[in-house]
Chain A
Amino acid sequence: MKYLRVRAEPGKRIAITGINPVLLDCLQNVPGIVEQRDAPNVRKRLFPPPTSSDNAANRDWENLVVPDLRHLFDSAVEIMARDLESLTADPQHQHHFRIVFAEDHLAAWMSALNQARLVLGELFAVTEDDMRQTDLDMKQPKDLALFRIHVLGYLLQLLVEYATGLS
């Protein structure tokens, strides 16, 4: 992903350029990955209770706050998926792509990428040691999940740097 860049475009827009086919495949898989968030362990990770012991407060949270969070997470993925439809070839680099989207979609992009990473992490019980693993066998489902977590994390890192003014 040596050509991958995130930069400001005129008209309060952001361009992601240098998207290679591998990253594109990961991005296009985000909505499908996030759909699996109702698996019990994933649900517990994305919608954790607010306290460890106050059952009444946890029940209220489940009824009042979780639907709100679910809506927020859905909206983020929808925004990212819609932006992906405007994908075009990157004129600077052969076999690479670019996407331009409104700056106020940035939070949705970060949320969607992070949701997908967290869902994969829970589905495959990823640990800190797994995250340090470098020798990945793409035929193994867990290794493929780790690869996707890292690829999406690379773009997320660039978006965080852009959002915090470090890029």
Chain B
Amino acid sequence: MPQTGTVLIEETKSKEALDVPWNVIVFNDPINLMSYVTMVFQRVFGYPREKAEKLMLDVHHKGRALVWSGAREQAELYVHQLHSYQLLAQMEKSS
């Protein structure tokens, strides 16, 4: 019985871990052009120009911006794509 209980708790924890969204964060850098960053957000996430520009300005003025949130696997894919465009990006578990 205790063993079953342990398994149940662990399964519940794992499910919670899977359900916690992951944030994709892009950081400001002094070199990348604002127009280039906007284009990358449009291409990677399919965002309309206005939303991409707003996020780019968030990155520029605040130093970082949360650009996407969701499943870990998809977050990894997006970070990979952002790195392929040479943007400084990381993923982190939503708090």
Contact = CB atoms under 8 A, between A and B. Distances in A.
A118 interface: yes
Interface stretch (B4-12, B13-21, B84-92): B84-92
Given A50-B90, A163-B39, A157 B33 contact: yes
Given A46-B86, A118-B32, 14 more contacts: A48-B90, A50-B79, A51-B90, A111-B85, A114-B32, A114-B36, A114-B85, A121-B29, A121-B31, A127-B30, A131-B30, A160-B36, A164-B42, A164-B49
B27 to A, nearest CB: 9
Contacts of B35: 157, 160-161, 164
Contacts of B86: 46, 111, 114-115, 118
B91 to A, nearest CB: 6
Contacts of A149: 31
Nearest to A128: B30
A164 B36 CA distance: 10
Contacts of B38: 164
B33 A52 contact: no
Nearest to B80: A65
25 contacts: A46-B86, A47-B83, A48-B83, A48-B88, A50-B76, A50-B79, A50-B83, A50-B89, A51-B90, A69-B83, A69-B84, A111-B85, A114-B32, A117-B31, A118-B31, A118-B32, A121-B29, A121-B30, A128-B30, A130-B30, A131-B30, A149-B31, A157-B33, A164-B38, A164-B42
Contact of B91 (A46, A50, A114): A50
Nearest to B76: A50
Interface string A136-157: 0000000000000100010011
A46 to B, nearest CB: 7
A72 B80 CA distance: 12
A49 interface: yes
Contact of A49 (B76, B84, B90): B90
B90 A160 contact: no
Contacts of B33: 153, 156-157, 160
A150 to B, nearest CB: 10
Interface string B69-87: 0000000100110011110
